[in-house]
Amino acid sequence: MVFTDSLLSRSPFGCLQATLSHGVPTGTGLPTGTGLPTGAGLPTGAGLLGAPRSAVALTYLLLFTGMVGMGPVWAQKDAFSAGSFVQIDDSEEKSEEEGSNGESGAASLNAAPDPVDGIDFPDEATAGEDISSAEAALAHDARTLSRAFRFAARKATPSVVTVFSYGQNTRPRGNRARKDKDKDDEEENESLPDDRPIGPSPPKMTEDEGLPLTGMGSGVIVDPDGWVMTNHHVIRNARRVIVQLSDETELVATGVYGDPDSDVAVIRLKPKRPLVAARYGDSDALEIGDWVLAIGSPFKLEATVSAGIISARDRTIDKIRRGRLLQTDAAINPGNSGGALINLDGHLIAINTAIATRNGGNQGIGFAIPINHARWIAKELSQYGKVRRAAMGIRLAELNPKLAKQLKLPTNLGVLVYQVVKDSAADKAGLKNLDVILEFAGQRVRKPATLQEVVERQAVGSTQKIKIRRGGETLIREIILAPLEDPTDVETPDEKQKDQKKEKDKVDEEKADGDKLSDDGEAGSEDSEVADPAADESEDEADQEDESDA
């Protein structure tokens, strides 16, 4: 026999109909109180072994009456669609006297009793009330999430700004550059209604320098004194940068510093009043599936908010050489670069930076720089105008299952030292090829990207402990970190002590010469030059701007 539906898909009444049509053999020892209607017209004289159809029918009957525990499941399944579970009461036993009387059985069938005795099906009113309760609960949850979105957006939006870049890769007063830019703007606005302004409308040319508007992105205020964090590609090679606040106030940047390796940049402003700064969150605490909001100025539409989740962690892309990224499906489009990615508390947890797309727009795959990493980059840029990264001078490899099997090591034991640069910090610390780094500066590491991030954040010239595995033995070494630009530029403790002594002797010598000049009356003469602090400040800013452009 072939059944077109499964046992669990049959309703209790359908199972009873199958029982009545196939028949159940007598003498099977059915217990009383099975809940069957009287006069069911069960056939007599059908042997159990000689009637396969009857055996199947018996199975249906047993399942239906709950002898093998399936009756409640069916009853619950059918009633679940009505919004509630039904109660099966099989404690009450019924007499079988009427079941042996054919006339009484026929009368019972003609009377059309409830086909399932003991099952209390909910009426339409009760089912409607249950469905209404479920819908109300869902609506309450939706409203709660909506309120969370509103709270987070309201809290973070005042800290998100629009960044305009002028004169990127163009001549300051070239007529050709101006004509080309005007043509591009006309083509860009062809699909937009002429009578509807779209987003912020800065001047296409700066009045004082005649520089064309060449780029636009977003940024986040991270310090009330006037520091804005954005992407490096937003301000790259810009000769002038203007920041528009959420209240449409425009401020001209006095300093711009970027790091192309991480795509993080900071903009220095001098506001007349303290700005509303974003509050930092903890990007290391994020988990896949967490709700996030992206805020920025996509397609010149400022303060646009879109919602999504964290889709993945530790992503890498070719355009960002150093650092791991968060992946999100929150809508990120051109113009969102440098904007905020926040959690439901309204805290800044990442800087939007890139998308994976085939048509130039959002396709549900966006990338953002974790704020714990971006914050360190921004601090370096604001204090030193560049990012000082430390290095050990080794090439790393991930200890994946295939490589671990070849080396007879546990998978993901640590980070494999693939090659040690000669005379580098790692070489002087005694590291060798095929060492496995287990810990660095007290932090457990298993991925090359994790180790790289931990190392580069340490101070250049600092001494750090490193735990390694070599030939079944665990060793601890001390390493003096070198600058990333030259991993061999590292001093041993003896060399460092000698240099410190030379520096001290030099200071003492200069101090002695100064005292001698004072005694001779030459110091402080009218011919001596007096430095202008304002001039030094302007020269320093000019040097920093040139360095950012390079």
Amino acid letter at 420? V
Pairing mode of beta strands 213-223, 160-166: antiparallel
Catalytic member of 54, 262, 297, 337: 337
pLDDT tens for 131-150 read 678 788 888 888 899 999 99
pTM above 0.85, yes or no: no
Q: Give the pLDDT confidence score for residue 64 in this predicted structure.
A: 43
Return the higher-pLDDT residue of 342 and 90. Answer: 342
Q: Among this protein's residues, is 462 annotated catalytic?
A: no
Confidence band for 506, pLDDT divided at 50, 70 and 90: confident
Q: Using the CB atoms, write b or e for 154-164: b if 16+ within 10 Å.
A: ebbbbbbbbbb
pLDDT tens for 57-103 read 444 444 444 444 444 433 343 333 333 333 434 444 444 444 444 44
Return the higher-pLDDT residue of 309 and 59. Answer: 309
Rg (alpha carbons) of the chain, rounded to whole number: 38
Domain boundaries, the chain: 7-122, 157-187+202-383, 390-483
CA contacts within 13 A on the Cβ side of 526: 0
Reduce the DSSP state of residue 498 to 3 states and report it. Answer: helix
Q: Give the pLDDT confidence score for residue 344 in this predicted structure.
A: 96
Give kind and range of the element (H or E) at residue 497: helix 493-520
Q: Which letter does DSSP use for residue 418 in this model? A: E
Torsion sign (Cα): 246, 250, 254, 256: positive
Q: Among this protein's residues, is 549 annotated catalytic?
A: no
Q: Give the pLDDT confidence score for residue 244 in this predicted structure.
A: 95
pLDDT tens for 384-429 read 999 999 999 999 999 989 999 998 999 889 999 999 999 999 999 9
Distance, in Å, from the CA atom of 478 to the CA atom of 490, rounded to the nearest integer, reads 13
Distance, in Å, from the CA atom of 295 to the CA atom of 308, rounded to the nearest integer, reads 11
Residue with tokens 């150093």: 322
Query: Does domain 390-483 sit in CATH 2.30.42.10?
Result: yes
Q: Which letter does DSSP use for residue 119 in this model? A: B
* Residues contacting residue 451 through CB under 8 Å, at least 6 positions apart: 396, 415, 437, 440, 445
Catalytic member of 78, 259, 263, 427: 263
Distance, in Å, from the CA atom of 478 to the CA atom of 390, rounded to the nearest integer, reads 15
pLDDT tens for 443-463 read 999 999 889 999 999 999 999
Kindly report which listed range (147-156, 254-263, 312-321) carries the lowest average pLDDT score. Answer: 312-321
* Residues contacting residue 54 through CB under 8 Å, at least 6 positions apart: 22, 23, 24, 25, 43, 46, 48
Distance, in Å, from the CA atom of 151 to the CA atom of 233, rounded to the nearest integer, reads 31
CATH of 157-187+202-383 given 3.30.160.620, 3.20.20.70, 2.40.10.120, 3.10.20.740:
2.40.10.120
Q: Among this protein's residues, is 540 annotated catalytic?
A: no
Q: How far is CA 70 from CA 11, 91, 94, 355, 439, in A?
A: 11, 16, 20, 52, 56
Query: Helices H, strands E: what count in the chain?
Result: 13, 21
Burial class for 119, CB neighbours closer than 10 Å (0-12, 13-18, 19+)? buried
- The candidate with the shortest Cα–Cα distance to 116, out of 36, 2, 59, 199, is 36
Catalytic member of 22, 232, 233, 373: 233
- The candidate with the shortest Cα–Cα distance to 300, out of 193, 216, 363, 185, is 216
Distance, in Å, from the CA atom of 111 to the CA atom of 484, rounded to the nearest integer, reads 93
End-to-end CA distance of the chain: 81
The tokens for 208 are 């004082």
- The candidate with the shortest Cα–Cα distance to 231, out of 188, 266, 190, 201, is 266
What percentage of the chain's residues is helix, strand, coil (to nearest 5)?
A: 35, 20, 45
Q: Which letter does DSSP use for residue 191 in this model? A: T
